[in-house]
Every structure is written in structure tokens, then in C-alpha cells.
Chain A
Amino acid sequence: MNSIGRFELSLDMSPDYIDVDLVVVDGEIYASHNPYKKVPYVDRLIPLGPTGPYKLKLKEVAADCAEAEQKMFLDTKNLDVEDLPLLRGILGEARMEEKILFCSRNPKLLDKIAEVYGYDWVFHSIPNEDRLNDFFEKGYRGNVSIPERLATKENIDALHERGANVFVYTVNSAQEALRVLGVKCDGIISENISLLNVYPRRV
């Protein structure tokens, strides 16, 4: 979800959760999938500015979701531990605190979130085999989101034995969905509108 158009579509589609990536800019949290882009010939990342994703403030997104009774899957990968009070304040003001799943690649950040909300509500974003091994070997707690290629029966069984729910991304075809569902994943992260229509929101 990285634009107003996509956000409005997300509310219309009414999935169980909408995936919202967060970024902090000048003391404000914005919903932004990709806030910076590498521009050719400029040897640095530049912000997209007011015409880009920054126009979506989390407080506005959260208020709209609250009104639509829409839950959110928040990707906090761009946040630091010190940003959590700001995040909690926004979610609390929108009365959304109990309608959120938190996702990050930062185990320390997820531990801090879990101190407040509990480990049932946090998801480790695991992009590769090394991070998956870390999850097992370092005794991380909580749930996981993994790419489709890591969604094998062996991996999912092992994660379930650890008490983790397993979400799989990005599953964009019915055949992929059947495969990962067949190995008992718990959730699918998909932008395939046809697939979402198979599972109308269950509230």
C-alpha cells in the first residue's frame, strides 16, 4: 500500500489486513512503501517529496481504517525503537491498537513491541535462509512472514512447532496459493485482486 489510490482500493477490497509500510520523516510517521528512490547520476537517495508517498500520514490512514473496521499489517522496518512512543500514540488515538500486526526485520524492535502487545502480534520478516536459521538458532519469538520460495513443508512444519504463524509473500497466482496453502501456511500476502475475491473478509 504505497499511494492514496492503492489505499482506497485496499479499503474497497476489505482483506483481513492491509499491509502498510512505515517511515518516519521529521517527527511524523508516513505510510510509504518506498520513500526513497535512487535517481540516475545522483549518487544518493532522494526523497520523493510532497508529490510522492509522503502525502499519506499514518494518523490519517489509521483513522480511515478505524472507520472502515479495517485491520492493518504494519511493516515497521524503517522505524527505530525510539519511534515506538510516537507510533503507539497514533494507533491509540485512532483506537487501532488491537487491530494491528507488527512486522519487521529487526528482532530488537519486535521484542520492544511485544513488551507492550505480546508476541502473538509480531511478525519477523524473513527474506532468506540465513535469517530463517537465525530465527531457529537465536530463539526468536513471535510469528514470521517468508517469501514463497521458502514456504516448504519442512520449513512451515518446523515454524509451527515453534508456535509461529506463517504468512507467505507475495503470492500472486491461484496455483501459487494452492501450493503454499497445501503446505499449511496460515496467511497469504497477495495483491492479486482475483485471489482476494475468493476470500471475502471474515469479520
Chain B
Amino acid sequence: MKGAILFSFGSFLATRQALNPPEVDPLPSEYIDDETRKKLRRYSPVMVFP
């Protein structure tokens, strides 16, 4: 029974999120050290932001 209640609550949250999606999704970022940055800059890829 507890499982059923939890499942319903989760569904409510999922429904609410589906109907009110966040304006900005969390985006990944990371610290890129100087050596890695230097390696990356050996290349010049086209960058596409999704």
C-alpha cells in the first residue's frame, strides 16, 4: 500500500513537471585546467549548442 501511495505521488510530480517544464534546464560545466585547455585548442571544431 505504501508503494502505491509513493507511486501516485511520483506520478503527480511527473505530470506537473511535464505540464510546467523548467525554463532553463541545468547545464553541465566543469573546471578545465590549462593543460587540457591547451590540448583542446589544438583543434578547431565546429561547436553546436543544443
Chain A residues within CB distance 8 Å of chain B: 1-6, 9-10, 13, 15-19, 33, 37-41, 46, 48-49, 51-53, 73, 167, 169-170, 172-175, 177-178, 181, 185-196, 198-199, 201-202
Contacts and interface: CB of A to CB of B under 8 A. Distances in A.
A15 B47 contact: yes
A39 B18 contact: yes
Judged by DSSP, the binding face of A is mixed
Contact of A170 (B18, B40, B46, B50): B50
Judged by DSSP, the binding face of B is loop
B49 A194 contact: no
A174 to B, nearest CB: 5
23 contacts: A2-B25, A3-B25, A5-B22, A6-B25, A9-B24, A13-B49, A18-B48, A18-B49, A19-B48, A39-B18, A40-B14, A48-B18, A51-B20, A181-B42, A187-B45, A187-B46, A188-B48, A190-B48, A191-B49, A194-B31, A195-B40, A198-B37, A199-B40
